[in-house]
Chains A and B, each alone.
Chain A
Amino acid sequence: GAVVSQHPSWVICKSGTSVKIECRSLDFQATTMFWYRQFPKQSLMLMATSNEGSKATYEQGVEKDKFLINHASLTLSTLTVTSAHPEDSSFYICSARPGPPGRTQYFGPGTRLTVL
């Protein structure tokens, strides 16, 4: 149980284009989903927290107009990287948290984004 999927697993795009990444909780309803970014050999950096049906809360320094997050249902959240540039190349990972009182976050397998 507690499986989280991400799609695509890897994507290569040209500079200036937009890329959408999907995060799904397959066997539970996630009231809260989180999006992280991870550079090589570094820790996970939280980008934003999204709750179903409400606007995402972005961490300091994360551009909300560049990283659009939508949490339209209890099993799906999407991250859209708009007007991607090479510096946006990274490993993007989502996690999902079942409703309270549990605090456990279950992570997806990650999406490798390469912007040329």
Chain B
Amino acid sequence: GENVEQHPSTLSVQEGDSAVIKCTYSDSASNYFPWYKQELGKGPQLIIDIRSNVGEKKDQRIAVTLNKTAKHFSLHITETQPEDSAVYFCAASKGGTSYGKLTFGQGTILTVHP
């Protein structure tokens, strides 16, 4: 089955700096890659996603890049703010009979210091 590795497990930055979180996946058939932000005691919130026919996608301060050949994708957050502090999860899925089942990475605890 699919395996998603996420690094780093913790990331500490100063407010205004950029943060980058990287994920690798094992199944070349995976073609959908969402990123979720989870605050303490809450469910994950979709922040951005990318499909395999696109190499990069940007939404204000957040961007995701995808390298299908290397099977890795990354989340980039610019101009970080204290409210960006949370746990971030990457995930991967493929179509077909899997019904879009997501395989999650281990998560990254992002702390943005004021």
Q: Do A and B bind each other?
A: yes
Asked if A75 is at the interface (CB within 8 A of a chain B CB), the reply is no
Evaluate contact between A43 and B89: CB separation under 8 angstroms.
yes
Evaluate contact between B46 and A51: CB separation under 8 angstroms.
no
Across-interface contacts of B51 in A (CB, < 8 A): 103
Q: Which residue of B lies closest to A49 (CB)?
A: B99
Asked if A29 is at the interface (CB within 8 A of a chain B CB), the reply is no
* Complex-state Cα separation, A103 to B103, whole angstroms: 13
Min Cβ gap A7→B in Å is 13
Evaluate contact between A43 and B106: CB separation under 8 angstroms.
yes
Evaluate contact between A110 and B41: CB separation under 8 angstroms.
yes
Asked if A34 is at the interface (CB within 8 A of a chain B CB), the reply is yes
* Complex-state Cα separation, A43 to B45, whole angstroms: 14
Evaluate contact between B46 and A106: CB separation under 8 angstroms.
yes
* Complex-state Cα separation, A96 to B101, whole angstroms: 11
Across-interface contacts of B93 in A (CB, < 8 A): 103
Across-interface contacts of B103 in A (CB, < 8 A): 46
Asked if A18 is at the interface (CB within 8 A of a chain B CB), the reply is no
Across-interface contacts of B106 in A (CB, < 8 A): 42-43
Asked if A104 is at the interface (CB within 8 A of a chain B CB), the reply is yes
Contact of A46 among B36, B89, B102, B105 (CB under 8 A): B102
Asked if A97 is at the interface (CB within 8 A of a chain B CB), the reply is yes
Q: A32-B100, A43-B104, A95-B43 are in contact. List 20 more A-B contacts (CB 8 A).
A: A34-B101, A34-B102, A42-B107, A43-B105, A43-B106, A44-B44, A46-B101, A51-B99, A93-B43, A93-B44, A97-B99, A103-B51, A104-B34, A105-B46, A106-B46, A107-B44, A107-B45, A110-B42, A110-B43, A112-B41
CB-CB nearest 9 A-B residue pairs: A107-B43, A103-B100, A103-B32, A109-B43, A107-B44, A110-B43, A43-B104, A32-B99, A44-B104
User: Could you list 6 A-B pairs, sorted by A, with CB under 8 Å?
Assistant: A43-B89, A103-B95, A104-B49, A105-B34, A105-B46, A109-B43
